[in-house]
Amino acid sequence: MGKINVAIIGVGNCSSSLVQGIQKYSEIQDNEIKVPGLMNNILGGYSIGDVNVVAAFDVDKDKVGKDLSEAIFTKNNNALKFHDVAKTGVTVERGMTHDGVGEYLADIIEIDKDKDSVGSETSDIIQILRDKKVDVVINYLPVGSEQATKWYVEQVLAAGCAFVNCIPVFIAREDYWQKRFKDKGLPIVGDDIKSQVGATIVHRVLTRLFNDRGCKISRTYQLNTGGNTDFLNMIEKSRLKYKKISKTESVQSQLDVPLDPKEIHIGPSDYVPWQKDNKVAFIRIEGEGFGGAPINLEMRLSVQDSPNSAGVVIDAIRCVALARERGLAGPLNSASSYYMKTPPVQHRDHIARDLTNEFIRGENIKANKSTIN
């Protein structure tokens, strides 16, 4: 198998964990040993070392113009450092701002507007993607960056790249964008990345457990706190519309009968600076068992937020590369349902896993190359 050339939009904490992980696990060449943090050492013939980051875009003056290995450890990034990253030879290019920098991020991110300075004007994204022969573009923009995401998607389509949408701006699930990707002959995985063991995936599993064991859920909440730039950005409530929809629908999809919207509350709750990249989730489920006896579950989950999704993104990249290699276009429903909170089609997690593994093995792929299983 050849290399998968990847471009990253947004050089934040998630990018930091991804780049560190690619280098850390690059020597693994088989599936013989179970490696902590990885779901698949080899996926469809691709090792992690085959994921080759060749371009990156940001608007932060502290990152633009720097080697990616340096940019991922700048002051506004506080993800866990678990690997010393060697020079990549990838210079962070100036991206498009649009609505990508919210009210609170604007207090800590300096966007250079001096036309004579590096990073003052948006780079030619399409040309860079073409020159670097980018296969897959990853969207890591801040939550609420709807206009910026859609602008970048236009660049991705024009350049002829596959797309992995890791944020809750709905692209893969929308008919308009599905058609655009199909018409261009390009695959997409989205929307809104699940973590390996994060608040939403745990909440989904527990919700389904209650349902499968015959217990009626009366109400539930999921409250999250953290101290990274993602949580700082989400203080701005107007940017949370799609985030709350994504997380809530992801949990509701596991119930045979969805809860009344008043009885389910899911979303970021507060920014606690000293937590840094540590995300803490509080989940409560109230229900009824046999004879109407009350059953209440409470749990606390503490994770390092950014590494928690990096291993999932590595698999999503390799799946969308496989789809492109096989000449498939449009939303990859199997991988999207397994790796994303708001895919075009929701499945139970064990079913989504089986469908994804079937796709990886090359099974159940429709002959019509304009559609994807």
The pLDDT score that the predictor gives to residue 37 is 82
- Strands of the 216-226 sheet, one edge to the other: 264-271, 216-226, 278-288, 294-304
CA distance 240 to 244: 6
- Domains and their CATH numbers in the chain: 4-194+309-361 (3.40.50.720), 199-304 (3.30.360.10)
Question: Are the CB atoms for 228 and 291 separated by under 8 Å?
Answer: no
CA distance 349 to 312: 14
Q: What is the pLDDT of residues 334-360, one digit of tens each?
A: 999 999 999 999 999 999 999 999 999
Q: Which of 100, 105, 120, 115 lies closest to 9, judged by CA?
A: 100
Mean pLDDT of the chain: 94
Q: Which of 275, 202, 273, 195 lies closest to 235, judged by CA?
A: 273
Looking at 240-244, 271-275, 319-323, which range is the least confident one? 240-244
Residues of the chain with pLDDT > 70, as a percent, come to 95
Structure tokens at 352: 């989504």
Strand ranges for the chain from DSSP E: 4-9, 42-43, 46-47, 51-58, 92-94, 136-139, 162-165, 187-189, 216-226, 264-271, 278-288, 294-304, 330-331
φ/ψ of 142, rounded to 5, equals -65, 155
Bridge partners of 137?
7, 163
CA distance 317 to 4: 8
What does each C-alpha distance from 56 to 24, 123, 169, 367 come to in angstroms? 19, 11, 20, 35
Strand ranges for 202-271 from DSSP E: 216-226, 264-271
Position 250 pLDDT exceeds 90: yes
> Beta strand pairing status for 278-288 and 294-304?
antiparallel
CA distance 206 to 226: 22
Structure tokens at 202: 């745990």
Q: What is the pTM of this model?
A: 0.94
Residue 366 banded pLDDT, cuts 50, 70, 90: low
The pLDDT score that the predictor gives to residue 211 is 95
CA distance 116 to 122: 13
Cβ-in-10-Å burial (0-12, 13-18, 19+) of 211 comes to middle
Residue corresponding to tokens 């780079």:
123
